[in-house]
Chain A
Amino acid sequence: MRATATVLVALSLVAAGCGHRSSAAEERTILIVVDAPFSQSPYIGNTIGNGAQLAADQLNAQGISVGGAHYRVRILRLDNALSPSRAVADTRRALREHAAAIVTDGTGVDASWRLANAQHVPLAITYQGGLGLVNPQTRPNVFRIAPTDHGLAFRLAEYLVPKRLKIAMLTDDSDYGQAGKTALTDAFRTVPKSISARITLPSTASDLAPQVLEARRSGATALLVWARAAVLAKTIVAARSAGWGVPVYTTPAGEDPFVRQQLADHRSWVNGLTFASGRMTAELGPAPWATFEAAYEAAFGTTNVGVKSGGRPVIAPPDYAMYSYDFVNLLGAAVRSASGTDPPKVLAALNQVSTHGANGDERGFNERNHEGVVDDDVYFARFRDMVFRPVRDDPLSSTLPVINQVR
């Protein structure tokens, strides 16, 4: 009996030892967890993951040596499947594995930031722009490098109102659409007469003709659509198939390859679609972006849209990848500044350091501002023959170069 007990205890200890981790080498690894919707929105998930991986590879190539210790950056991709509870579980795993930071699209941040904050682990949002996700006072470990809903909505208002258009505001019933509705309502509050109708688009409807007809009857001379890519495509189909050539304005959903794929049989319907997004180039010119894009394509290849322009394949520029790329670089700078990976020190350093972003912009945070993309960085681009170029009737956009999108 005693022998059996001894064996059981020994086995338990061996089993427990299997899961133990203590080597000094592991402490020199900077683990960054990318928690993104790889299964539900692969385009977004992979864009975020690839951006972070590219920065990690470059940092590793350069080497991070602080205080005689050498660090390697490792990226761990976890799929949150757009589920807040999965995001919480992923955050717990990241903390168990002593991650130095978590890069996320924004799913589940309301719940997971407390867990990360308890261990002083920074959480970087690189896609969602929702109001309230970032607040340096109440959520000191949450940062964002992505255009905010507030910024997109106010820039859209700033761009559209002077055109004296009667705008039908179409938002879908997803969380994305509802968050956009809130932001747009706020942005257009002072100019209510420019809004001819506020219509909710059912995400699951196969035909949006009734909603588009309602917008048309309201006397609208422009459609402002804040919806997921699939709903945006259906909205354009409904308008154009009814012979209505109304201009359509939208959010970064407009540059999602899905929209062009859906409209591939009616290429002309894409023409004129205008979207707001974070700019890919800054005052320094297109060189930084070109360098980033070339490195990205060398590492991961191009993201083919699946349509052609002028007989050549169209690719999607990795613009959202630059946000996760920039954050990983900022974290590297923070580790150097903190002389190590002590979480409180790294978190504090993130409020101090800055780097040059993929688009040449200065990226950095401070104690009062955890937004990495300022509202003024939102630009507008318009499609022509399946590729987009910055508009010329907006002061910021008109200064931006055209990014090559064919290969």
Chain B
Amino acid sequence: MSTQTAAVRTGTALREAVATARRSWTDTATAGGAAFALAAVAPFVLGGLIAEDTLASGAYLALAATGLGLCVGLGGVPSLAQGAFVGTGAFVAAHVLRHTQLPAELCALIGAVAAAALGTAAGFAVRSLDSVRVAVGTWLLTWLVALGLGALPWLSGGGQGLVVPTRRLFGLNPTPLVHYELAVILTGLCALALLALRRGPFGLDLAAAAQHRGAAAALGVPMERLRVGAFAASAFVGGLAGGLAVQLEIVADPTAYGPLLSFELLVAVLVGGAAAALGPGVGVIVLGLIALAARALGALAGVSASRFQPMLEALLLLAVLTTGGNAIVPGAIRAVRRFRRVPARPAARAVMPAPKRREHLRAEGLVKRFGPVSAVDGVSFELHPGTVTALIGRNGSGKTTVLRLLSGTLPADAGAVRLGQHELAGLTPAERVHAGLVRTLQSRRAFFSELTVLEHALVGANRTRRYGGAVRTVVSTPLHRAENRLAETRAVAALETVGLAADADRQAGELTGSGRERLMIAAALATNPAVLLIDEASAGAAPEELELLKTIFIDLKNQGLAVLLVEHNLGLVRAVTDQVLELELGRVVPHKPNSRL
């Protein structure tokens, strides 16, 4: 490729990026920009009211909190280890500064990488735990780091801390003002990254996993990998904040990175708004106000402010949690939107792309035992492209177990599942989705209530992406942006198939039960499957909704998909199926033809 061609392509890509940014610019973005500008000039406007080193420390705290937002806001993972990551970054950077002549920025970066390594290990350890256990586990990690620093004076510098030599920062004298402006810039960049990730596939997948693990797993969301990634990214930012803050404070202080710091960072994130880009920063400002209030109370009571500060923070957190997690920034955005109605997205028209391949699925001799009970006992069948197969039977006959064996959420004791030429044994549910086999869940609660209808479908469409990684999302590469358009087209087409395209911008929680069922079918459809497994989609559906379901299943058949329906509604089965399998005590029983059901 000639230089000229490359320049033209780069120019085009940049113009596209600018156009995309202009299209997606909102009032919230304007508010964010204004907040950033205000923060940047704060030391000049506030004069001597707040000391520059206090402002700089607060700005680094905001950076660490924004990093924590990656974990808590996107992943819904209540990490109480951010203080430990900040401390790791601080002490590693301090040691590197003391023992090498490396530039100050590089030392901070090394600290951040060390923190990210610890974050990766922590994320790996808690990747499959529920929220409570994650909180406890990360709390223990924080204590471990704090106690370790206390017990190892050679590492922490003991009571006097580890004195850090001062070195120029980006060629500038490292005054508190320079540190402050650097911290504000980094916090702004981190907030932008948080925003990009939240809107991108990484954030949607994490949000889906946080809201309903089962439904996310069914759609092939690689939850554990995403969690580890969120922890690592969060720790990296925390470590960077620590590695830079330690140069401002000129001492790595073993008493400064204990559980209280982790607690305060979590409070800042939850109070400000975990998923909002500006939320953690606003939360840190609130903490600053609490410190002032604690000082006033301390002066009144004649005791140290430090006696009141954690108490006031805990009260604030309690207030936020007991009011249903109503944080400041999301609350403000909601309030503004109430007055300024956002114009509805014009209904998009899209054509569903053809299935990735027309492949048949063959199950051979599937067996699953739970103790002495055989839930599935030698079940074999085939699903052909462009057909709908019904799996019927009494409750407890083994229908859902068969679906779980096919989708890989339950390992089979014996038997094999082949999709086209591929043996699926040993593949995870996510890998099976990637191969072209996806399922929906039986429960009407198995959806992501806080996502919009379109975002639901996008979670499915994300499975087809190649350039949807976190780094590409943050940088917004041309390939990533091009793929965004394709993913949205696929998602809208899936919504059209199930009759929900007009509801794209509605919250999923606003849909009826049947609407939610169709929504999860759309999300599964957006994964571009060859085989679709649907578990009791008609449960509780009204007559007109049943008609709609019939149309959808026939449409799916016409698109060339192989569909397996677990159904109790024999009318629906009769209307749409080409093949009926009846299970009884885990076995397929010979059945009369569909027409004689």
Contacts and interface: CB of A to CB of B under 8 A. Distances in A.
Same complex origin of A and B? yes
In the complex, which of the residues B53, B176, B304, B305 has the most CB atoms of chain A within 10 Å of its own CB atom? B304
B45 A12 contact: yes
B53 A84 contact: no
Contact of A89 (B54, B151, B163): B54
Nearest to A204: B147
Contact of B49 (A15, A114, A173): A15
Contact of A83 (B46, B47, B158, B256): B256
B49 to A, nearest CB: 5
A110 B163 contact: yes
B159 A19 contact: no
Given A89-B54, A175-B153, A111 B48 contact: no
A291 interface: no
B372 to A, nearest CB: 51
Interface string B269-312: 00000000000000000000000000000000001111100000
B507 interface: no
A19 B161 contact: no
A276 to B, nearest CB: 21
Contact of A19 (B48, B249, B253): B48
Contacts of B304: 38-39, 42, 79, 81
A167 B563 CA distance: 85
Given A15-B47, A19-B48, A93-B51, A88 B158 contact: no
A79 B249 contact: no
A109 interface: yes
A5 to B, nearest CB: 14
A92 B248 CA distance: 11
A161 B51 CA distance: 54
A92 B158 contact: no
B546 to A, nearest CB: 63
| Tier of interface size on chain A | 35 or more
Interface in B40-63: 44-49, 51, 53-54, 57
A84 B251 contact: yes
Interface string A62-94: 000000000000000001011111101100110
A288 interface: no
Contact of A20 (B45, B47, B51): B47
Contact of B160 (A21, A38, A109): A109
A175 B45 contact: no
B251 A110 contact: yes
A24 interface: no
B594 interface: no
Contact of B249 (A18, A20, A85): A85
A261 B16 CA distance: 75
A79 B10 CA distance: 56
Interface string B228-270: 0000000000000000000001110101100000000000000
Contacts of B303: 39
B51 A96 contact: yes
Given A88-B250, A108-B160, A111-B250, A82 B47 contact: no
Given A38-B304, A89-B53, A115 B44 contact: no
A43 interface: no
Interface in B130-169: 151, 153, 157-161, 163-164
Given A81-B306, A84-B161, A108-B161, A12 B251 contact: no
Contacts of A107: 159-160
Contacts of B49: 15, 18-19
A174 B158 CA distance: 8
A176 B150 CA distance: 12
Contacts, number: 100
A3 interface: no
Interface residues of B, number: 31
Contacts of A20: 47-48
Contacts of B176: 92
A260 to B, nearest CB: 23
Contacts of B53: 89, 92
B66 to A, nearest CB: 21
Interface string A171-206: 001111011000000000000000000000000000
Interface string B557-574: 000000000000000000
A85 B251 contact: yes
B47 A17 contact: yes
Contacts of B44: 12, 16
Given A39-B306, A111-B160, A83 B48 contact: no
Interface in B54-90: 54, 57
Interface string B93-135: 0000000000000000000000000000000000000000000
B44 to A, nearest CB: 7
A178 B153 contact: yes
Nearest to B165: A114
A114 B160 CA distance: 14
A110 B47 contact: no
Given A15-B46, A79-B306, A111-B251, A85 B54 contact: no
B45 A111 contact: no
Contacts of A174: 159
Nearest to A203: B150
Given A16-B45, A88-B250, A175-B158, A111 B57 contact: no
Nearest to B49: A19
Nearest to A19: B48
In the complex, which of the residues A92, A109, A173 has the most CB atoms of chain B within 10 Å of its own CB atom? A92
A85 B153 contact: no
A84 B253 contact: yes
A18 B250 contact: no
Contacts of A84: 157, 159-161, 251, 253, 255
Contacts of A19: 46-49
B378 to A, nearest CB: 61
B298 to A, nearest CB: 9
Given A83-B256, A88-B251, A178 B47 contact: no
A44 to B, nearest CB: 13
In the complex, which of the residues B51, B54, B57, B159 has the most CB atoms of chain A within 10 Å of its own CB atom? B159
Contacts of B159: 82, 84, 107, 174-176, 179
A21 B45 contact: no
Contacts of A88: 249-251
B250 to A, nearest CB: 5
Given A84-B251, A110-B160, A89 B57 contact: yes
Contact of B253 (A15, A85, A115, A176): A85
Contacts of B250: 88, 111, 114-115
B48 to A, nearest CB: 2
Given A89-B54, A108-B161, A175-B158, A16 B47 contact: yes
Nearest to A45: B304
Contacts of B54: 89
Contacts of B164: 111
A108 B251 contact: yes
A121 to B, nearest CB: 16
28 contacts: A12-B45, A15-B45, A18-B48, A20-B47, A79-B306, A81-B255, A82-B159, A82-B255, A83-B253, A83-B256, A84-B253, A84-B255, A85-B255, A89-B53, A89-B249, A92-B51, A92-B53, A96-B51, A107-B160, A108-B160, A108-B251, A109-B160, A110-B161, A110-B163, A111-B164, A111-B249, A114-B250, A179-B159
Given A16-B48, A81-B304, A107-B159, 13 more contacts: A15-B49, A16-B44, A38-B304, A39-B307, A82-B255, A83-B255, A84-B157, A84-B161, A85-B249, A92-B53, A108-B160, A130-B160, A175-B153
Interface of A: 12, 15-21, 38-39, 42, 79, 81-86, 88-89, 92-93, 96, 107-111, 114-115, 130, 173-176, 178-179
Interface of B: 44-49, 51, 53-54, 57, 151, 153, 157-161, 163-164, 176, 249-251, 253, 255-256, 303-307
9 closest cross-chain pairs (CB), A and B: A19-B48, A175-B159, A39-B304, A84-B161, A19-B47, A111-B251, A85-B253, A16-B47, A110-B160
